[in-house]
Amino acid sequence: MKIVGVLGGMGPLATMDLCNKIIKYTDAKKDSDHVHTLIDNNTEIPDRTAYILGKGENPEKYLIDSALKLEDMGVSFIVIPCNTAHYFYEKIQKSIKIPVVNMIDEVAKELKDVKKVGLLATKGTYSGHIYEDTFDKYGIKVEVPPMELQEIVMELIYRVKEGKDNIDEVDIDSVIEYFRKLGIDNIILGCTELPVAFEQLGIKGKFLDPTKILAISTIRLMGKRVVGV
C-alpha cells in the first residue's frame, strides 16, 4: 500500500491547502478511495527566505530530520508544499532513500509550448533562482518583478502567514499589471501562501498554482484517478 508523506509546516495553512486539494481532486466515492497521507506539520523549521538572504538559521537540518521521520514511518515518497524549501531539494533527496517529488519540476512540465512566465514568490525563491535553475532545462524564461514590487509580494505572503484579515490592503494588482505590460499572461503563484491569498481576494487570471499541480501529481503517483480539474 502506497503512502504519501507531506513535509509541511511552511506554513501550516499552505500545508492544509495542499491536503485539501489532494482530497478535492481525488476521484473518491468512499474513505478508502482517498490518498493515504502522513503529514509532518513541522512549524519549527526556520524561515527559508531569511536563511537564503543571510539573515537567519539554516533550515536544512530541520528539513532533513522531517524527511527522515516520514521515511521511518513508511511513506512511499515525499512532497513539500513550500516553493522556497526547494532550495534545499538536493540535500533532502540525498539524505533519504525514497523519492522526493520536485514541485518546481512538476510546474515546468505543465508549461507546454510556453516560453516565458512571470513569477510571484518570496525573496528567497527569487534570490535562490529556484525556478530559473529548473526552468532553464525546459527552455522557459522566468521574469521576476523589480525589488519594489517584490516587497509587495512579500507583504502579501507574510500577512497570510500571520493570519491577518487585511490582505486586501496589499496592492498586488500593481505586480500583476507589471507582467501584463510585458505581455506575460502566465504567472506562477510561486509561494504556497499565494494561491490561498488569491482565492480569498477573488483574483482571476491565467495563474499557475504549484500547490494544485503538486496535489494532482501526488494523486497520480498514488495510482488514483483525478477529477474536477
Which residues are CB-contacts of 149 (< 8 A; sequence separation ≥ 6)?
174, 175, 178
8 Å CB contact between 201 and 14: no
Instruction: Calculate the CA dihedral of residues 104, 161, 216, 7 and round it to 10 degrees.
Output: 70
Indicate which residues carry an active-site annotation. Answer: 82, 191
Q: Are the C-beta atoms of residues 2 and 223 closer than 8 Å to each other? A: yes
The answer to whether residues 98 and 60 touch, using CB atoms and an 8 Å cutoff, is no
Residue 73, φ and ψ in degrees, nearest 5: -85, 0
Nearest to 94 by CA among 51, 124, 60: 60
Pairing state of beta strands 187-189 and 207-208?
parallel
